[in-house]
Structure 1
Amino acid sequence: MNATVLLDAPATPTAPALLLRPWRADDVAELVEAYRDSALRRWALAPIETERDGLAWVRAQEEARAAGVRLGFAVVEASFGAEPQRLAGGVVLKELAPGSPSAEVGYWTAARARGRGVAPRALETLTTWALDSFRADGLERLELLHQADNVASCRVAEKCGYVFERILPATPPAFPLDGHLHVRGRS
């Protein structure tokens, strides 16, 4: 997979445009800061506590992208002039395999960017791109999983046209609660 894929989500009347781009080492400080948020840590499988953790995580994203099995994107707010881009969250396309009809998506939003439509805009951008870009490889359906008590993720899924399919039983310790499976196919 080409590491230079950049995706844009347009601005809204109340929020700046978003850029989805591959993770890079200079994201680490903002990544560590984002993971200090207790709400984000509650849903994260692997907390990022130090710059060393953050750099290892970014390197793992780069390796997975190079292998074509996981395409993670930093979601940054578009900048103007000399103003730096600010990390607003992340989205990922995972479980990607040539010939497989399905893959999985995930997302998170930094605390400072919540309430401005970051997750739905980023997820919709990733979804449209993935279903279009991997059609020739057989991709027909995207799956979105979240814990049953993650009401915000449920709302994002529904806003983006991911239909609730079924409840998934808990699988502790990684998934201590039942989950929801939402799906979206080609329209």
Structure 2
Amino acid sequence: MNDIVTLHASPTPSAPALALRPWCVDDVAALVDVFRDPALRRWTSSAVEDEGDALRWVRDQERGWAAGERFGFAVLQTHPDSPRGQLVGHVVLKEVASGKPSAEVGYWTAAHARGRSVAPRALEALTGWAFDVLGADALERLELLHQVDNPASCRVAHKSRYGLDRVLPAAPPSFPREGHLHIRRRDA
């Protein structure tokens, strides 16, 4: 399944088109480069220090696809002169299980691509794919969680029509602070 799935997010007047595809070994160097950003490291639970870490991270993404429980996508900014595209982010559909009515989404944006609606456009493409492809298997809602002190993620959630459901208590070590739970239903 992972070598045929490519999603697209259309360009906007201020942002180029995006392509979403499963992660692959060719992404390792770009992943190391992106993870040099201290802001990204603050908000993610992944630690990518070098090519070995990046390769393990990519292999974890591939295992998730193979198991059918986690679908991670590299988000690429497409250029007519660069068929491969430039890595600008990541979106993931996780905690997927047959017959389970909910799954969780996550995302991050590379520092050089922030402020260009990468995350909301990529999340919208992932959301549509999840409900179209997996929705027949009882998927009714998607959940988005972030710490309350991450206003950028809150803006992404609202732009992507994930409504605030409730404030969650802190749950260290994964969630050291209170969090927001946003939900998007299939028919939203």
* Deviation digits for residues 15-51 of structure 1 (CA, Å, limit 9, x no counterpart): 1100000001111111111111111000111211110
Cα distance, 1:116 vs structure 2: 0.5
Tell me the secondary structure at the aligned position of residue 85 of structure 1.
Answer: strand
For residue 52 of structure 1, what is the amino acid of its counterpart? Answer: G
* 1:102 and 1:142 in contact (8 A); partners too: yes
- What SS does the aligned partner of 2:19 have? strand
- For residues 17 and 66 of structure 2, the distance between their equivalents in structure 1, rounded to whole angstroms, comes to 27
Partner Cα separation in structure 1 for residue 60 and residue 9 of structure 2: 25
Give the match for residue 176 of structure 1: 176
Per the alignment, residue 119 of structure 1 pairs with 119
Corresponding position: 1:24 with 2:55: no
Q: CA RMSD in A?
A: 1.1
- In structure 1, stretches of 5+ residues that fail to align are none
TM-score of the aligned structures, taking structure 1 as reference length:
0.97
In structure 2, list runs of 5 or more residues that go unmatched.
none
Give the Cα–Cα distance (whole angstroms) in 2 for the partners of residues 79 and 176 of structure 1: 39
5 Å-filtered alignment, 1:120-135, equals 120-135=120-135
Query: Percent of counterpart pairs with the same letter?
Result: 62
Matched, 1:50 2:21: no
Residue 79 of structure 1 and its aligned partner are, at CA, apart by 2.1
SS of the residue aligned with 2:119? helix
Mapping for residues 1-187 of structure 1, pairs under 5 Å: 1-82=1-82, 84-187=84-187
Contact 2:2 2:22 in 1 (8 A): no
Q: What is the Cα deviation at residue 12 of structure 1?
A: 1.0
Is the 1:157–1:163 contact (alpha carbons within 8 Å) kept by the matching residues of 2?
A: yes
Change in Cα spacing, 1:83 to 1:22, as seen in structure 2 (3 Å) is closer
Deviation string for 1:123-147 (max 9, x for gaps)? 0110011111112100000000001
Shift of 1:3: 3.7
Structure 1 residue matching 2:61: 3-state secondary structure: helix
Change (3 A) 1:38 1:186: same
Asked whether the equivalents of residues 3 and 66 of structure 1 are also in contact (C-alpha less than 8 Å), the reply is no
What SS does the corresponding residue of 1:93 show, helix, strand or coil? strand
Give SS of 1:28's match.
helix
Report the Cα distance in structure 2 between the residues aligned to 1:27 and 1:5, rounded to whole angstroms.
16
In terms of mean alpha carbon deviation, does 80-89 or 43-52 score higher?
Answer: 80-89
Moved over 3 A (4+): none
Equivalent residues, number: 187
Q: What's the CA shift for 1:84?
A: 4.6
